[in-house]
């Protein structure tokens, strides 16, 4: 099924940029964990597995995948529910399936699955204009994994599903009035939600975000330390493995959620601009794949995958500068985390897949 | 066509997404620029505060030696356990764990932290000073498993006084600088400065300069590496004028004979203080690591007042030792010749009152009068001199006023004058007052130091000396003598005859048939004079008899110089409740004997332990513990005690 000529249409530039980001991530993990330790090698292996996953995602025609998307979706839901019952517990939440050497986090793979499902549903050729009914079904399909993952509880990952729905619905022609309506509801509901829907610790995070110094030792600590980490980097940074905030653990989970802060500290504004440029380039290049896609299905699939990726990148980097409430969201491609890396690379495999098959029938 | 319409909308909405994402990235880049460039300096400083800690390296204080090179004060290393509040995530928990681990009362740790609450958080608070090795081991073991973030153990030099309470009032003690001291001496919080004695007066010489070490610490407060280190500079070595052997001899003798009191021995030619003791004393080691409340309270409430330096702060009636001054003044003023005889029939009548002598001495000249301590003779001579000339000689010989020794809080010795009484009591001087003063009773009130200076001045032929404690200091370039300020007192040459007559008389006191026989040392020609300071008047004694358990026994004095011709040492012994001067004389004898033995390279004399002079009954023991109201009259109370004596005991004389 992998025709030889397709090989010439693979977007090597995008792969190169993605791998460059992975390399930066590996270097930062190496730096913050003090050398080639267990964490570093785990990430290296995950990168290898991720490339295999990417190759698989490229090789199977996305249209065949889309045809099976409801089965994939169904299987994923079962897996997620299974995690709720049989997953291993760490840090108070049940997200992982133990696979001996590896712990798999199925929710990471739920993103691509949902993107495929929604793209298939809303992007099928021959379908008439988007109806409210379609939107409701799409919302329902999103809500199921959202609620399951939120139950783990892992609100951070659950929230990354929402951009998939919104972006696909948006490009699929969701009327603008709905978008405006949603914005208005969001603005009005925010204070009510703050008061009633959020748990105490969540409220605390938001209020300390608005005034971190109100609790410099508790919830505001990470945020203050994030700003200090970034700000003290300056233009040129403190040098590879030369950071103090990350190296001396003033910033918690530096190799994970706050890896970009460490990059800013050690490589300075120059490193930040290079990394931001790489991400921006990757996103723009991937958007090109959507524009060039042969069909709506391909375009929506690319956008769905890209939506959660872009959201996560923007949110994580904002948070690592201490400009957003601290949330357990990793930086895709850079943060430590095998499942995330493999799932993200598989997602990029789908994007490459769509672009590669833009001339095929 | 629907498909084309679709395409168009897709392209359009893609553009919107592109722009939105682009704006997002530009905003992010702007945010990083703002933190990393615009606010860089501020965050850089915050990061440094995070991971750098400056530790004070306390300078060891200078070591103190006696004049013979014997070590008096040194330093030892001790461990302080401190809390660095900047790095304790949960202060209360840290206090709780720390007090469990070290076995220290949790509340006292909390109190210490509370006391320093207002200080900057980066300055570690010492919560367990002078920790035991077990405590240090317990803490360092815990620190590794992150149970005690922000707790650090520092090695610090601490003052050590190997001879405990010996010469405690002279050497003094150290302690944390008070607010005033921080301002005056320009030292930082927590600095250890001298608080008493030589440690305080010569603090600048002894203190040295603290160093500093800048270290990198991680978020748990553990040291990772040292960035830079400025080593501390130890304080200068200081050599005192004190003679260890004599100082020890004095204190041993007091204990052996069972007295509290004071002894001062000077070198007459230059005022070097060879011995300065005050008993009971305290142990300055208790102060070295911060004195605990209970010990401090007991030192302050103890009726025997161990913190008082009796040598310069205790004022007592000099009794017959004052006759040295009267004799010298009379000869110098020429009111009497040494050979002139005065008849003693057991007392004499002056200004219509009978003043008693304790013997019937018959005709005595000055030498005999001194030997026999004849009151009648000195009543007569004192009356001839008049109070103002007595006062003048008090000043010339160094008995009146302060000696000027380099110790803080000295009180003035009082040798009255007409003007003094007018000012003090708004009363005219009566000639009868002079008669009591002539034998050291009435309105005379002196410190042991005052009498020591008087004896040194008489011994050296008339040059009043200023006692001094420090002989030399060493900054690392060898011993440099400490410059002596020129004496503020004009040299006064006593007539050779005066000096020799007075010394002859004093020699007879010890070596003739006088009261100082207990100080006799064969071949050493000790010259001296005993005296008795009344603790309570005779009338008072009647009243108090059997009705009080306070110690009402009189104090004993002995002033001395030796050898008689060309004296090398001069001084005083004050035996509290020694009852009479011979009690003091036996203490003096041991000091003097030690001096000569050491000078001549002979084995030092050994005291034969003997039971206390008076058998100590339980009642007496209680009496000693409760002494306060009546004796000794100290600074501030001295005036009232003096007034009381001047009214009730004026006409009672009790020579010894």
- Measure in Å the smallest separation between the Cα of B218 and chain A Cα atoms: 4
* Per-residue confidence (pLDDT) for residue B647, from 0 to 100: 38
Contact yes or no for A227 and B14 at CB 8 A: no
**Nearest-CA distance from B131 to chain A in Å?**
29
Distance in Å, alpha carbon of A177 to nearest chain B alpha carbon: 15
Q: Where in chain B is the domain with CATH 3.40.710.10?
A: 244-286+310-469+496-648
Residue B224: its chain A contacts at CB < 8 A? 248
Greater pLDDT, B253 or B145 = B253
> By the 8 A CB rule, do B128 and B135 touch?
yes
Distance from CA of B211 to the nearest CA of A (A): 25
- What tokens appear for B23 in the block? 């704006």
Residue B14 at interface with chain A, using a CB cutoff of 8 Å: yes
- What band does B622 get if pLDDT is binned at 50, 70 and 90? very low
Q: How far apart are CA A268 and CA A62, in angstroms?
A: 40
CA distance B414 to B445: 5
* Chain B residues in contact with A296 (beta carbon < 8 A): 6, 10
pLDDT digits (tens, 9 = 90+) for B510-519: 998 888 889 8
B10 close contact with A: CB closer than 8 A = yes
Contact between chains at A269 and B9 (C-beta distance less than 8 A): no
Q: Which of B9, B28, B216 sits opposite A318 (nearest CB)?
A: B28
Q: Distance between CA B604 and CA B210 in Å, rounded?
A: 42
Torsion of CA A194, A200, A206, A210, to 10 degrees: 100
- Nearest CA-CA distance, residue B42 and chain A, Å: 8
- How would residue A347 be classed by pLDDT, with cut points 50, 70 and 90? very high
Q: Is the pLDDT of residue B120 over 60?
A: yes
Q: Does B18 touch chain A (CB under 8 A)?
A: yes
Take residue A336 and report the two structure tokens written for it.
Answer: 């430590």
Q: Percent of chain B at pLDDT above 70?
A: 89
Q: Buried b vs exposed e over A134-149: b needs ≥16 C-beta within 10 Å?
A: bbeebeebbebbbebb
Q: Average pLDDT, stretch B373-385? A: 93
- State how far residue B136 is from chain A, nearest Cα, in angstroms: 24
Q: Would the CB atoms of A232 and B46 count as touching at under 8 Å?
A: yes
B533/B379 Cα distance (integer angstroms): 17
Q: What distance lies between CA B582 and its chain's CA centroid?
A: 27
Residues of A in contact with B221 (CB under 8 A): none
All CATH 3.90.1310.10 domain ranges in chain B, comma separated:
53-109+123-240
Q: For residue B644, which of B529, B543, B531 has the smallest C-alpha distance?
A: B543
The answer to whether A291 contacts B14, with C-beta atoms less than 8 Å apart, is yes
| Residue with token string 């959620």 | A257
Sheet holding A102-104, edge to edge: A88-90, A93-99, A102-104
* Type and span of the H or E element at A40: helix A38-59
Do the Cβ atoms of B43 and A231 come within 8 Å? yes
Residue B426 φ then ψ, to 5°:
55, 40
Closest residue in chain B to residue A126, using alpha carbons only: B3
Determine the Cα–Cα distance for residues A292 and B323; give it in Å rounded to an integer.
124
Kindly tell me if the per-residue pLDDT of A140 is higher than 80: yes
Kindly state the DSSP code that residue B37 receives in the 8-state scheme: I
Q: Quick check: B33 and A269 CB within 8 A?
A: yes
The DSSP bridge partners found for residue B275 are B265
pLDDT(B628) > 70: no
- Average pLDDT score over residue span B140-146: 65
CB contact under 8 A, B37 and A235: yes
Report the 10 Å Cβ neighbour count for B514: 23
Judging contacts by C-beta atoms under 8 Å, the chain A residues touching residue B39 are 231
- For B656, half-sphere exposure in the C-beta direction (CA atoms, 13 angstrom radius) is 26
Cβ-defined contact of A248 to B216 (cutoff 8 Å)? yes
Residues of B in contact with A163 (CB under 8 A): none
Into which CATH architecture does domain B244-286+310-469+496-648 fall? 3-Layer(aba) Sandwich (3.40)
- The H or E element that residue B530 is part of is strand B527-533
Residue B590 pLDDT grade (very low, low, confident, very high; cuts 50, 70, 90): very high
**Closest CA relative to residue B327, chosen from B368, B361, B370:** B370
Contact (Cβ atoms closer than 8 angstroms) between residue B414 and residue B420: yes
The reported pLDDT for the residue numbered B621 is 39
Quick check: A39 and A266 in contact, CB under 8 A? Answer: no
Across the interface, of A167, A279, A321, the residue whose CB is closest to B32 is A321
The answer to whether the Cα torsion of A191, A192, A198, A204 is positive or negative is positive
pLDDT at A273: 96
Secondary structure (3-state) at B137: helix
The answer to whether B378 and B366 have CB atoms below 8 angstroms apart is: no
A315-to-A197, A252, B298, B461 alpha-carbon distances in Å: 22, 18, 66, 96
Burial class (CB in 10 A: 0-12, 13-18, 19+), A285: middle
> Looking at residue A218, what is its pLDDT?
59
Contacts of A234 (CB under 8 A, 6+ apart): A268, A269, B36, B37, B40, B44
DSSP-assigned letters across all residues of A84-122: HHHPEEETTEEEEEEETTEEE-HHHHHHHHHHHHHHHHH
DSSP annotation of A8: G
Structure tokens at B639: 């005036």
Look at A194-198, B125-129, B241-245, B626-630 and tell me which has the smallest mean pLDDT.
B626-630
Pairing type for strands B64-65 and B237-240 reads parallel
**Is pLDDT above 60 for B345?**
yes
User: For residue B257, what is the enclosing H or E element?
Assistant: helix B244-257
Smallest CA–CA distance, residue A245 to chain B, in Å, is: 7
Q: B53-109+123-240 architecture in CATH?
A: Alpha-Beta Complex (3.90)
Interface contact A173, partner B, CB < 8 A: yes
DSSP code string of A280-293: HHHHHHHHHHHHH-
Residue B311: band (very low, low, confident or very high) from pLDDT cuts 50, 70, 90:
very high
What is the C-alpha separation between A307 and A298, in angstroms, rounded? 14
Could you give phi then psi for residue B173, rounded to 5 degrees? -150, 170
Q: Tell me if A171 and B9 make a contact (CB, 8 A cut-off).
A: yes
Whether B578 and B260 have beta carbons less than 8 Å apart is answered as: no
Residues 525-584 of B with CB under 8 A from A: none
CA angle at B604 for the pair B601 and B609, rounded to the nearest 5° = 170
Question: Can you spell out the DSSP letters for A121-184?
Answer: HHH-TT--S--HHHHHHHHHHHHHHHHHHHHTT-HHHHHTHHHHHHHHHHHTT--HHHHHHHHH
Of the two residues B655 and A214, the one the predictor is more confident about is A214
Whether the predicted pLDDT of B579 surpasses 80: yes
Q: Is the peptide bond before B280 cis (omega within 30 degrees of 0)?
A: yes
% of chain B residues with pLDDT over 90 = 44
Chain A nearest C-alpha distance from B255 (Å)? 60
Chain A CB within 8 Å of residue B46 CB? yes
Q: Cα separations (Å) of B433 from B377, B416, B643?
A: 16, 10, 12
Which tens digits make up the pLDDT trace of B494-532?
888 998 999 999 999 999 888 888 989 988 999 999 999
**Amino acid B528: pLDDT:** 93
Inter-chain Cβ pairs, chain A and chain B, closer than 8 A:
123
Q: Which chain A residues in 293-322 lie under 8 Å from chain B, judged by CB atoms?
A: 296, 299, 303, 310, 314, 317-318, 321-322
Listed by start position, the domains of chain A span 4-356
Of A231, A283, A323, which has the smallest distance from its Cβ to B36's Cβ?
A231
Contact A327, A319 (CB under 8 A): yes
CB contact under 8 A, A290 and B32: no
Contact A341, A22 (CB under 8 A): yes
Measured between beta carbons, the chain A residues lying within 8 angstroms of B37 are 234-235, 269
Which ranges in B468-550 belong to alpha helices (H)? 496-511, 538-544
What's residue A53's pLDDT? 95
Q: Considering chain A, what is the average pLDDT of its residues? A: 86
Other CB atoms closer than 10 Å to residue B387's CB: what's the count?
25
Query: Which of B3, B23, B32, B149 to mutate to probe the A interface, most A CBs <10 Å?
Result: B32
Peptide bond into B296 cis (omega under 30): no
Residues of B in contact with A233 (CB under 8 A): 36, 40
Residue A167 pLDDT class (50, 70, 90 cuts): very high
Nearest-CA distance A138 → chain B (Å):
18
Helices B387-397 and B418-425: angle between axes, nearest 10 degrees: 100
Q: What is the DSSP letter of B608?
A: P
**CA-to-CA distance for B279 and B169, rounded, in angstroms?**
9
Per-residue pLDDT band for A217 (boundaries 50, 70, 90) equals: low
In terms of Cβ atoms closer than 10 Å to its own Cβ (0-12, 13-18, 19+), residue B268 is buried
Selected residue with higher pLDDT from B124 and B79: B79
């Amino acid at each position: 099924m992998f025709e030889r000529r397709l090989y010439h249409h693979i977007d090597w530039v995008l792969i190169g940029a993605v791998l460059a980001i992975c390399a930066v991530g590996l270097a930062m993990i190496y730096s913050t964990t003090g050398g080639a330790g267990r964490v570093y090698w785990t990430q290296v292996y995950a990168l290898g597995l991720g490339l295999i996953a990417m190759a698989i995602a490229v090789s199977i025609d996305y249209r065949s995948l889309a045809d099976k998307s409801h089965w994939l979706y169904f299987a994923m839901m079962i897996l997620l529910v299974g995690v709720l019952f049989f997953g291993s517990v760490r840090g108070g939440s049940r997200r992982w399936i133990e696979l001996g050497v590896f712990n798999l986090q199925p929710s990471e793979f739920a993103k691509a699955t949902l993107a495929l499902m929604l793209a298939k549903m809303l992007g099928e050729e021959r379908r008439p204009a988007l109806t409210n009914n379609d939107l409701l079904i799409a919302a329902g399909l999103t809500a199921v994994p959202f609620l399951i993952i939120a139950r783990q509880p892992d609100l951070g990952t659950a929230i990354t599903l929402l951009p998939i729905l919104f972006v696909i619905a948006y490009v699929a022609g969701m009327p603008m009035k709905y978008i405006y309506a949603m914005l208005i509801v969001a603005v009005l509901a925010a204070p009510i939600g703050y008061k009633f829907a959020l748990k105490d610790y969540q409220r605390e995070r938001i209020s300390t975000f608005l005034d971190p110094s109100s609790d410099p030792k508790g919830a505001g600590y990470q945020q203050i330390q994030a700003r200090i980490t970034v700000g003290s980097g300056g233009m040129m940074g403190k040098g590879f493995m030369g950071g103090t905030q990350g190296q001396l653990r003033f910033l918690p989970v530096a190799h994970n959620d706050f890896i970009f802060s460490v990059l800013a500290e050690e490589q300075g504004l120059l490193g930040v601009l290079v990394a931001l440029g790489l991400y921006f380039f990757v996103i723009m290049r991937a958007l090109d794949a959507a524009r060039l896609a042969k069909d709506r299905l391909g375009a929506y699939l690319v956008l769905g995958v890209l939506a959660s990726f872009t959201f996560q990148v923007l949110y994580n980097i904002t948070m690592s500068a201490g400009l957003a409430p601290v949330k357990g969201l990793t930086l895709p491609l850079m943060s430590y985390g095998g499942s995330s890396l493999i799932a993200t690379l598989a997602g990029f495999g789908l994007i490459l897949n769509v672009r590669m098959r833009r001339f095929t029938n | 066509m629907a498909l084309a319409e679709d395409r168009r909308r897709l392209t359009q909405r893609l553009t919107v997404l592109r722009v939105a994402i682009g704006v997002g990235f530009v905003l992010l880049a702007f945010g990083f620029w703002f933190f990393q460039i615009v606010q860089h300096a501020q965050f850089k400083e915050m990061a440094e505060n995070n991971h750098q800690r400056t530790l004070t390296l306390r300078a060891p204080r200078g070591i103190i030696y006696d004049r013979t090179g014997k070590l008096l004060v040194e330093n030892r290393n001790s461990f302080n356990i401190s809390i660095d509040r900047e790095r304790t995530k949960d202060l209360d928990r840290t206090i709780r764990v720390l007090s469990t681990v070290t076995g220290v009362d949790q509340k006292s740790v909390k109190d210490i932290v509370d006391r320093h609450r207002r200080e900057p958080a980066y300055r570690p608070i010492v919560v367990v000073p002078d920790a035991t090795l077990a405590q240090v081991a317990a803490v360092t073991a815990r620190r590794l498993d992150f149970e005690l973030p922000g707790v650090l153990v520092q090695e610090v030099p601490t003052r050590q006084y190997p001879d405990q309470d010996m010469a405690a009032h002279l050497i003094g003690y150290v302690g944390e600088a008070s607010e005033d001291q921080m301002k005056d001496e320009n030292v930082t919080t927590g600095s250890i400065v001298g608080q008493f004695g030589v440690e305080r007066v010569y603090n600048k010489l002894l203190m040295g300069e603290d160093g500093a070490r800048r270290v990198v610490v991680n978020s748990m407060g553990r040291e990772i590496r040292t960035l830079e280190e400025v080593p501390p500079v130890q304080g200068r070595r200081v050599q005192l004028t004190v003679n260890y052997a004599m100082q020890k001899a004095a204190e041993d003798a007091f204990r052996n004979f069972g007295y509290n009191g004071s002894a001062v021995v000077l070198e007459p030619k230059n005022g070097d203080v060879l011995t300065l003791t005050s008993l009971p004393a305290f142990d300055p080691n208790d102060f070295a690591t911060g004195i605990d409340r209970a010990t401090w309270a007991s030192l302050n409430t103890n009726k025997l007042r161990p913190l008082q330096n009796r040598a310069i702060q205790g004022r007592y009636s000099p009794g017959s030792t004052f006759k040295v001054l009267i004799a010298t003044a009379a000869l110098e003023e020429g009111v009497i010749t040494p050979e002139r005889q005065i008849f003693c029939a057991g007392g004499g009548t002056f200004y219509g009152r009978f003043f008693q002598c304790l013997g019937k001495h018959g005709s005595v000249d000055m030498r005999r009068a001194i030997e026999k301590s004849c009151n009648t003779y000195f009543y007569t001579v004192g009356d001839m001199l008049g109070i103002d000339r007595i006062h003048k000689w008090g000043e010339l010989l160094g008995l009146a006023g302060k000696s000027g020794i380099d110790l803080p809080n000295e009180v003035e010795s009082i040798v009255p004058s007409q003007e003094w009484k007018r000012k003090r009591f708004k009363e005219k001087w009566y000639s009868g007052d002079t008669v009591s003063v002539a034998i050291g009773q009435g309105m005379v009130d002196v410190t042991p130091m005052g009498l020591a200076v008087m004896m040194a001045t008489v011994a050296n032929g008339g040059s009043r000396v200023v006692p001094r404690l420090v002989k030399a200091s060493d900054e690392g370039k060898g011993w440099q003598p400490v410059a002596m300020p020129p004496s503020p007192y004009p040299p006064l040459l006593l007539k050779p005859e005066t000096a020799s007559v007075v010394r002859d008389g004093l020699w007879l006191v010890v070596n003739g048939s006088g009261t100082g026989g207990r100080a006799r040392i064969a071949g050493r020609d000790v010259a001296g004079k005993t005296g008795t300071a009344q603790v309570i008047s005779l009338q008072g004694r009647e009243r108090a008899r059997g009705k009080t358990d306070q110690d009402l026994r009189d104090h004993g004095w002995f002033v001395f110089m030796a050898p008689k011709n060309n004296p090398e040492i001069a001084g005083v012994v004050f035996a509290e409740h020694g009852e009479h001067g011979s009690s003091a004389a036996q203490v003096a004898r041991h000091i003097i004997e030690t001096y000569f033995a050491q000078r001549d390279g002979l084995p030092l004399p050994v005291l034969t332990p003997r039971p206390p002079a008076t058998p100590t009954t339980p009642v007496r023991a209680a009496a000693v513990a409760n002494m306060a109201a009546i004796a000794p009259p100290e600074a501030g109370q001295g005036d009232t005690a003096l007034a009381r004596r001047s009214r009730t005991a004026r006409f009672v004389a009790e020579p010894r």
